[in-house]
Structure 1
Amino acid sequence: MQFKDPKNNSFASLSPAVWRASTVLFDNFEDFISRKSRQPDGYSYGITGTPTSRQLETRVAELEGAKHCIITPSGQSALMTATMAFIRGGDHMLISDSCYGALKTFSRKWLSQMGVEVEFYPPTIGKNIEELIRPNTRMICLESPGTVTMEMQDIDAITSVAKIHNVKTMMDNTWASPLFFKPLDHGVDLSIEAATKMFGGHSDLLMGTISLNNFDDYDVLRETQSVLGQAVSPDDIFLVLRGIETFELRLREQSKQTQHIARWLEQQPQIETVMYPALESDPGHQIWKQQYSGAGCLFSFTLKEDSDDAIAAFFNTLEVFPIGASWGGTHSLIAYYPAEQQQARHYSPTSKAIIRVSIGLENADTLIADLQKALNAWQHAL
């Protein structure tokens, strides 16, 4: 038996249909032998998607202000797929030192072994990135703010330079999401989102998106997705489609709570620095204020003293905050990044251990009370 998309059917639903398929069937021999011509938007095999996939890609493209979108199995895979689509041996690639760690590791341990010249640059370089561009520079990778240390990048300045030199730009925009910043409107070529975070919103799936305007680049990306086998579960797609329905409501409330908690934390005597661009004290505040319309739910901070015993006491006292490395869901999370990680970087703004916090939808006073107890435990353990 064959299942076809019903036509002229009066059935309608508020919930999207879930199309599961590994194999796409064809009406005749001619359609089958010319199946590759269906790409990048059509259906030729399950890897490149079903109507369920296209529904989410269309929705994300609308949010991003993009003409095209491709979904991948994770935010990490979106970064790698975009890189593999356009980088070849002999190319030069510029990566912000504050970019997602897996992208830096992939570039350093894999791409560099394939003849790619990988260079890390200071996140706050701005227009001076022009000094690093070579004749073979192919791509500039950005993330603003940085995934742990929260440096803001002057996206407008960097993309202006990149356009002059015909260098492609790719930006991880997960922190702000397209609600608070639209990279394509600021000259970025490829906008990456970890849909795992705010789009999904409930810490129960992995997914990434790549949004763009250039059709030729879209064609290359769809082929790359297919060749690398970057297929996405239609059931997870359904969950992201459902999550997007409440995405703006969640993010606005989480942002409001995050700013309240970050401001409180900044006033505590145990704290050395709170890294959050929405704070006036943050070095990237002016760029954030000029280019962004809101702030994400993630921030970091350092304590006045690094002490293993005191840090352990801090984390082991927490009752409301679970310890976990992800973020963006309805549940708050907290994570730890040792001083050695910052000291190993090229351009870290700190050499101290970092505590990173993701604020969810719990009561803000409850979260503050939990942090207060943990700070007191840290103080007593010194």
Structure 2
Amino acid sequence: MSTPANASLSSLPTGDPARLNDVATALIHHPYQPPGGFETVQPGVHKASTVIFENTAALKTRQWKDKSGYTYGLHGTPTTFTLEERLATLEGGLQTLLVPSGLAAIALVDMALLRSGDEVLIPDNAYGPGKDFARGELAHWGITHRVYNPQDPASLAAQITERTKLVWLEAAGSVTLEFPDLAGLLAVTRAHPQVVSVLDNTWGAGLAFDAFRLGQTPEGEAFGVDVTIHALTKYPSGGGDVLMGAVVTRDATLHHRMKMTHMRLGLGVGANDAELVLRGLPSLAVRYAAHDASTRQIAKWLIERTEISQVLHPALPDSPGHAHWSQTCRAAGGLVSMVFEAQHFTQDRVEAFVDALKLFKIGYSWGGPLSLVMPYELQGMRQYGPLAGKQGTLVRLAIGLERVEDLIADLDQALRVLRA
């Protein structure tokens, strides 16, 4: 005879609420503790809002700022501490803060390091929502911004004033993929001690180049950016199913400033999301190399197509900033963009090409197994460089992990639709 699932409760005397309460308390305060020494490939997942203190002395003395203890879920768990330390290693930094998205990382840096009356300089090819944050929230708070030409360090130097407190860098440029003279831009910022340099390192993923070691002083001392941000949504998670960002530093004072703002804003990430990023990190280098190899092969195929006016990919000799990329980078990631000029193809024809793609799906983001496509209007996209003032459509491809020959065949059939 099978035992009912609720046998333990059904055997209790009826009408004995005290006994029911005894069970409830025993289940919540059960004394059993599993033995230690359980080692697995992936670290355990610790979920918490409340963290238990063994006594009031621990309540008063336990410290979360240096990761020596746990006080509340927002201030860290073994899972988030582990992810932070691994990301610091990936980026070449010493400290990491986790936030709910890449854009949240941008916002955190701006809010922590800028005050009313300050100015931030943003490259022309920066991530669009980051520019929108400056035009909206920062402007409301009395913080001004200006845009500089990322391909010309002199453009940056000409715009820095005593009000300039923050300079953003992007490599490669968002959508248009120009690769800037990072060492030259950083030489400019280093001449102004009040300026903090911040790099959006999402494209490089901590693998394409060393963000904290981009140049060398005459004395042989390595230098790089002060802060990096990284949209972990992309390559580190690798599955297209996580939203998360990171802010990495090597300077304890900068880290503390941002950590206090992080705490006051109540920023946190879910344990299951942290688990997914931790699971993705061991395969990151292999996946990034696969994206890189396939994208280079596709970029070389695209430059032979007469329908396309220009192919933008840092490893191509004719792509803007190629010389800087070749001096700085070990890899080139999984993005390639194509320019269709208006005099050759209308926007409707280009959109027909996009719609005709079968393996490439229309969608934002990148870094996952699925190849993606996204069209952009060229008009007004750039103030500087060869695309400034151009009419037409830019189509960005994010190359996934499919067989590259299948992706090329898909592009080929869609280009036939473009010409039809």
TM-score of the two chains, using structure 2 as the length reference: 0.86
User: Is this contact kept in 2: 1:19–1:50, CA < 8 A?
Assistant: yes
Instruction: Give the distance between the partners of 1:236 and 1:341, measured in 2 at CA.
Output: 36
Distance 1:185 1:319, change over 3 A: same
What pairs with 1:167-178 in structure 2 (closer than 5 Å)? 167-178=195-206
Structure 1's unaligned 5+ residue stretches are: none
Shift of 1:76: 1.0
Q: Does 1:368 align with 2:408?
A: yes
Q: Residues 12 and 95 of structure 1: is their aligned pair in 2 closer, same or farther, counting only changes over 3 Å?
A: same
Q: 1:23/1:127 Cα in 2 relative to 1: closer, same or farther (>3 Å)? A: farther
Q: Does 1:181 align with 2:181?
A: no
Q: Which residue of 2 aligns with 1:236?
A: 273
Deviation per CA, 1:261-314, whole angstroms, max 9, x where unpaired?
Answer: 011001101010011110011121100000111111012111243413212220
Match of 1:296 in 2: 333
- Is 1:12 the counterpart of 2:39? The answer is yes
Structure 1 residues 216 and 89: alpha-carbon distance in aligned structure 2, compared to 1, 3 A threshold:
same
The alignment status of 1:377 with 2:404, answered yes or no, reads: no
Alignment check: 8 A CA contact 1:314 1:375 kept: yes
Distance (Å, rounded) in 1 between the aligned partners of 2:30 and 2:398: 44
Which residue in the other structure is 1:274 paired with?
A: 311
Distance 1:24 1:366, change over 3 A: same
CA distance in 1, matches of 2:368, 2:145: 33
- Mean Cα deviation higher: 208-217 or 346-355: 346-355
Alpha-carbon separation, structure 2, partners of 1:88 and 1:283: 35
Q: CA deviation at 1:13?
A: 1.1
Q: Secondary structure at the match of 2:213?
A: helix
The one-letter code sitting in structure 1 at the alignment partner of 2:258 is L
> Post-superposition shift, 1:7?
10
CA distance in 1, matches of 2:401, 2:293: 10
List per-residue Cα deviations over 1:46-89 (Å, max 9, x = no partner). 11221100100110111111111111111111111111110111
Superposition map of 1:264-343 within 5 A: 264-304=301-341, 305-342=344-381
Q: Secondary structure at the match of 1:309?
A: helix
Q: Is 1:74 matched up with 2:74?
A: no
Q: TM-score, normalised by structure 1?
A: 0.94
Kept after mapping to 1: 8 A contact 2:347/2:393: no
CA deviation profile, 1:15-61 (whole Å, cap 9, x unmatched): 210000011222222332455x5314343221122110010011011
Residues in 2 aligned to 1:370 and 1:94: alpha-carbon distance in whole angstroms: 41
Task: After TM superposition, list the pairs within 5 Å mapping 1:133-212 onto structure 2.
Answer: 133-166=160-193, 167-186=195-214, 187-212=224-249
Q: CA deviation at 1:10?
A: 2.0
Q: Which runs of 5+ in 2 are unaligned?
A: 1-27, 215-223
Q: Secondary structure at the match of 1:22?
A: coil
Task: Answer yes or no: is 1:106 the counterpart of 2:146.
Answer: no
- Structure 2 counterpart SS, 1:271: coil
Give the corresponding residue for 2:256.
219
Q: Residues 340-351 of structure 1 correspond to what in structure 2 (within 5 A)?
A: 340-342=379-381, 345-347=382-384, 349-350=386-387, 351=390
CA change 1:3–1:112 in 2 (3 A) is: farther
1:164–1:339 CA distance, 2 compared to 1 (3 A): closer
For residues 91 and 107 of structure 2, the distance between their equivalents in structure 1, rounded to whole angstroms, comes to 20
* Matched residue SS, 1:200: coil
The correspondence for 2:85, drawn from 55, 58, 61, is: 58
In 2, the alpha carbon distance for the partners of 1:299 and 1:48 equals 39
Q: Is the 1:40–1:222 Cα contact (8 Å) retained in structure 2?
A: no
Please tell me the residue identity of whatever aligns with 2:106: L
Aligned-partner SS, 1:54: helix
Relative contact order higher in (CA < 8 Å, ≥ 6 apart)? 1
Query: Is 1:358 aligned with 2:406?
Result: no
Deviation of the 1:340 alpha carbon: 3.7
Contact 1:49 1:232 in 2 (8 A): no
Rounded to whole Å, the distance in 2 between the matches of 1:238 and 1:265 is 38
**How much has 1:253 moved relative to structure 2?**
1.0
The CA RMSD over aligned residues, in Å, is 1.8
Among the aligned pairs, what percent are the same residue?
36
Hey, what's the Cα distance between the residues in 1 that align with 2:183 and 2:29? Answer: 51
Greater fraction of residues in helix: 1
Give the structure with higher Rg (CA).
2
- Superposed, 1:26-37 pairs within 5 Å as 26-34=53-61, 37=63
Describe the superposition over 1:315-358 as per-residue Cα deviations: whole angstroms up to 9, x where unpaired.
Answer: 2211111111111111110001123452xx43364223210000
Aligned to 2:9: none
**Equivalent residue number for residue 72 of structure 2:** 45
